[in-house]
Chains A and B, each alone.
Chain A
Amino acid sequence: MKKLLHTNEFYLALIILILSIIINLKSGAFFTLGNLFDLLRSGTVMGIFVIAEMIVIISGGIDISFPAIASFSMYLTTKILVSNNYNGSIIFAFLVAGIIGVLLGLINAIFISIFKLPTFIVTLGTSSMFSGFLLAFIGSREISNIPDVMTNFSKMTIFKVKSNTGVISSLPYSFLIFLFIAIFVWILLKYTLLGRGIYAIGGDINAAERAGFNVKLIQIFIYGFVGFISGIGGFIHTCMMQNSNPVNLLGLELIVIAAVVLGGTKITGGYGTVIGALLGLFLVIIMNNSLILLGIPSYWQTFVTGVLILIGTSVTAYQGKIRKSNLSYLNDNLSET
């Protein structure tokens, strides 16, 4: 119990609970199964991205190319399926999206692991490359006649509830994919050598290398895997929206980073949990979805995201600073960028 009080997750859950109660008092519509399903639904795709970004941040990097990778793989996959009049299994479609994602992720991996370039600048460059290539050569128009397999997939639900007003809310099947990815990554990070390697790189890359971790291989895995789940996330997004728009995922990176950082993932690497990151996401989604419920205009969203990022980073940075104030090598965080 004492241990629980010291975790970041506990406080995050507390904030979420207090916030929910406030919103419920104001709007009265928060604690309903329908609203919960809506929140989970809008969190499905974002949740996959949050897990991807969290792995990268734990390893001491930062990735802003995942929206471009997701857009690229979902749009190209849809285009391939449409032009072939595909009508087979949805699993194959997911596989195609995932493989395109892996290939793009490996491009990141090459520059980061072999040339040892800073992750932020590499992913900034590749995200401009990927989205530029997609829009210039593959297509910039929305595809609205997506194959039936995809529409059918988006209509498959686990639960369905009907509220008193007659609005149907449902938990789609794709939520299970997200859940599967979350559990897989949780096990990977906690119980495998590879997972411990990811933490080790984030803590101190040189020490990890001395300790016998194959840093290059681990980094290649990280960016390849992140590309894979970004591709899957993008494809789920297309299925849920029932159209393939090459630009509407772009710009999502900031809110995802905000969620990861609020979830207690250490910004300089080496620490972070799946549960924390998902609680962070839940907080961000509640904030954004509830602005309207609370009567705040939607153009406040950017401001709220900014404040959330700054609060999240300030708290973790300040804690870290107090902890090592005895040594106080001022500004050594500068060299870590």
Chain B
Amino acid sequence: MQEKNDAKNYIEIFKKFKNLRINDNDSDIIRLFIIMLIIFALMTLLNPGRFFTSDNFSSMAFQFPELGILSIAMMLAMLTGGIDLSIVGIANLSGILSALILIHIHPDWAYKKILLFMLVAIAIGILTGILCGFLNGILISLIGIPPILATLGSMQLFTGIATIITKGHSVFNFPEQFLYIGNGALWFLPLPFVIFVIVAIVFNILLQKTSFGLKLYMMGTNPIASRFSGINNIAMIIKTYLYSGLLAAIAGLIIIARTNSAKADYGTSYTLQAILVVVLGGVNYKGGFGKVSGIILAILILQFLSSGFNMLQFSNFFKDFIWGSVLILVMVLNNIINNKHNQKK
């Protein structure tokens, strides 16, 4: 009984703590929304008759979910004040392990058997992601390696394992039923997009409505205070990186389903882009601040820019240059805005 009361008290405290921060976040979201509208309008104007078309919307809805899910994974790590550089490595390793089962499925098999094997493959991919995330959590919380280096090392480790398994080659030719996950559509909504929406809703609820989310925000803001208020920081960190690994695995499955191949070194530039999305989405790299809605707006901004640039025939190198510049520009702007904000107080 006593314990139950304690838990209730904590939730009350957390709610007050959360209310204190709401105003700060909302202005960020409105600002992002306006930026998104401006970029959307700009790209429509620069690419007349090509950007504002249903074809383009559909292809964008197939493209951004991978990076979107990876960005939510990155955001979770950043909310603890850490970073997860291994997400792309986890995505590829999970994808490859699933792929190794998928290539054994024969198209002549009974429908039920194919479905069963597919489920096993997906389960193994997801489990891999969870285990990788768990390893990251242990390295960071129990052994005490700074998140940057722990995940930098584990990224190499996961990519290395994936390379050893595949001997550096790619694995391809998956059953049609599996490719549907990456290329099919539910009525007119692309399936990757549907998965992204589900993930976004689930993690929004997890962060905003559950005690896990509230504890996570509190720990990210001040780990020492959270520890003295009875939160088990070690367990929280392990759980957070575990979720991050889970999301990376989901992204990995979407990637192999969309491209019909799994490779150990696919999408290495996603790490930079995920950090860019997270920082653009208003997540504080010091931890404790950030929302899923910010990530959604940021990923849309990035996708509009990317598709627009493709239509303008900018090279990938030039896009790299722009992503790097935007990342630093956003950080500098946030820094200036935060400083002004603090001075007012």
Complex interface bits, B63-103 against A, C-beta within 8 A gives 1, otherwise 0 = 00000000000000000111100000000000000000000
Interface-lining segment among A37-45, A275-283, A313-321: A313-321
**B129 at interface, CB cutoff 8 A:** no
Would you list which residues of chain A between 102 and 120 have a CB under 8 Å from chain B?
A: 111, 115-118, 120
Overall SS of chain B's interface: helix
Given known pairs A128-B320, A132-B320, A300-B160, the reply for A334 and B327 (CB within 8 Å) is no
Interface-lining segment among B146-154, B199-207, B249-257: B146-154
Determine if B285 and A121 form an interchain contact, defined as CB atoms under 8 angstroms apart.
yes
Determine if A117 and B335 form an interchain contact, defined as CB atoms under 8 angstroms apart.
yes
Q: Report chain A residues within 8 Å CB of B35.
A: none
How many residues of chain B have a CB within 8 Å of chain A?
A: 57
Tell me which of A127, A299, A329 has the highest count of chain B C-beta atoms within 10 A of its own C-beta: A299
**A124 at interface, CB cutoff 8 A:** yes
Tell me which of A131, A258, A297, A330 has the highest count of chain B C-beta atoms within 10 A of its own C-beta: A330
A304-B223 Cα distance, complex, nearest whole Å: 33
**B318 at interface, CB cutoff 8 A:** yes
Give the contacting residue for B224; candidates A62, A254, A300, A332; CB below 8 A: A332
Would you list which residues of chain B between 303 and 345 have a CB under 8 Å from chain A?
A: 315, 317-325, 327-328, 331-332, 335
**B191 at interface, CB cutoff 8 A:** no
Determine if B149 and A132 form an interchain contact, defined as CB atoms under 8 angstroms apart.
no
Q: Report chain A residues within 8 Å CB of B168.
A: 299
A309-B155 Cα distance, complex, nearest whole Å: 10
Given known pairs A299-B163, A306-B155, A337-B82, the reply for A330 and B223 (CB within 8 Å) is yes
Indicate the size class of the contact surface on chain A: 35 or more
A335-B35 Cα distance, complex, nearest whole Å: 31
A121-B85 Cα distance, complex, nearest whole Å: 11
Determine if B321 and A297 form an interchain contact, defined as CB atoms under 8 angstroms apart.
no
**B46 at interface, CB cutoff 8 A:** no
**A120, chain B: closest CB distance, angstroms:** 6
Determine if A132 and B318 form an interchain contact, defined as CB atoms under 8 angstroms apart.
yes
Tell me which of B148, B167, B286, B319 has the highest count of chain A C-beta atoms within 10 A of its own C-beta: B148
Determine if B144 and A333 form an interchain contact, defined as CB atoms under 8 angstroms apart.
yes
Q: Report chain B residues within 8 Å CB of A136.
A: 315, 317-318, 320-321
Given known pairs A126-B328, A127-B324, the reply for A331 and B157 (CB within 8 Å) is no
Sort A-B residue pairs by CB-CB distance and give the 9 closest, nearest first: A303-B160, A132-B321, A306-B156, A128-B324, A132-B320, A306-B157, A309-B153, A129-B324, A135-B317
Chain A residues in the interface with B (C-beta under 8 A): 62, 111, 115-118, 120-122, 124-136, 140, 254, 257-258, 261, 267-268, 297, 299-307, 309-310, 313-314, 317-318, 320-321, 329-337
> Can you sample 18 A-B contacts with CB below 8 Å?
A117-B331, A121-B275, A128-B320, A128-B323, A129-B325, A132-B320, A136-B318, A297-B167, A306-B156, A306-B159, A309-B149, A318-B143, A331-B233, A332-B224, A333-B146, A334-B82, A335-B286, A336-B146
A130-B324, A303-B161, A306-B160 known; 18 new pairs, CB 8 Å cut-off, are: A115-B331, A115-B335, A121-B285, A122-B331, A129-B320, A129-B325, A129-B328, A133-B321, A136-B318, A299-B163, A302-B160, A303-B164, A307-B153, A309-B156, A310-B139, A310-B153, A317-B146, A333-B144
